[in-house]
Amino acid sequence: MMKLTQDNLTTLCERIVQELPQGGIVILQGDLASGKTTFTQNFSRYLGLEDAVTSPTFSLQQQYGEKLYHYDLYNYGFEKFLSLGMMEELERAGYHFIEWGDDTLLGWLKRAGMETIIVKITKCDEDSRCYEVNRA
């Protein structure tokens, strides 16, 4: 587990790129307001993208440049994600950050052989978050 503050999220971005050099799927897990979208914003800047990253809570998916895709399953759940054909979107080249991915989604990703990392975000103290990174 890495304890990081907002000032040094570059370390986490570097680790994800090392683990997934050709891109892949990053499942972001954490409570409401834990920093899932904030981390996606940092990763976007790390990739050199200038797009304003916002939560895709009501749109399900946002695309930033040709490198970064951001999904939020909170309001829709995996079944709606699947019924809309969004699994096919995950085959596009780049990094796919998925907020609120659950065990059902992870099972599908494993069966499909998709490169996946899980980033679990928890509040460590008043000013920092802890990021636990694992391969799915």
Calpha distance 110→136 (Å, rounded): 7
Provide mean pLDDT across the span 41-47: 94
For residue 107, what is the domain's CATH number?
3.40.50.300
Please give the residue that has the higher pLDDT: either 76 or 123.
Answer: 123
In a domain, 82, yes or no: yes
pLDDT, residue 2, reads 61
pLDDT at 3 over 90: no
Please report whether residue 116 resides in a domain: yes
In a domain? residue 23? yes
The conformation of residue 35, written as its DSSP 8-state character, comes to: S
User: Is residue 52 one of the residues assigned to a domain?
Assistant: yes
- Mean pLDDT, residues 47-71: 85
Cα–Cα distance for residue pair 22/24, rounded to 1 Å? 7
102-123 in b/e form (b: 16+ CB < 10 A) is: eeebbebbeeeebbbbbbebee
Domain enclosing residue 116, as ranges: 6-135
Count: domains in the chain: 1
DSSP labels, 60-124: SEEEETTTEEEEE-TTTHHHHHHHTTHHHHTTSSEEEEEET--HHHHHHHHHHT--EEEEEEEEE
Distance of alpha carbon 51 from alpha carbon 44, whole angstroms: 8
Residue 107 in any domain: the answer is yes
Is the predicted pLDDT of residue 78 greater than 90, yes or no?
Answer: no
Please report whether residue 43 resides in a domain.
Answer: yes
In angstroms, rounded to a whole number, what is the distance separating the alpha carbons of residues 37 and 14? 17
In a domain, 91, yes or no: yes
pLDDT above 90 (res 4) = no
1 part of a folded domain? no
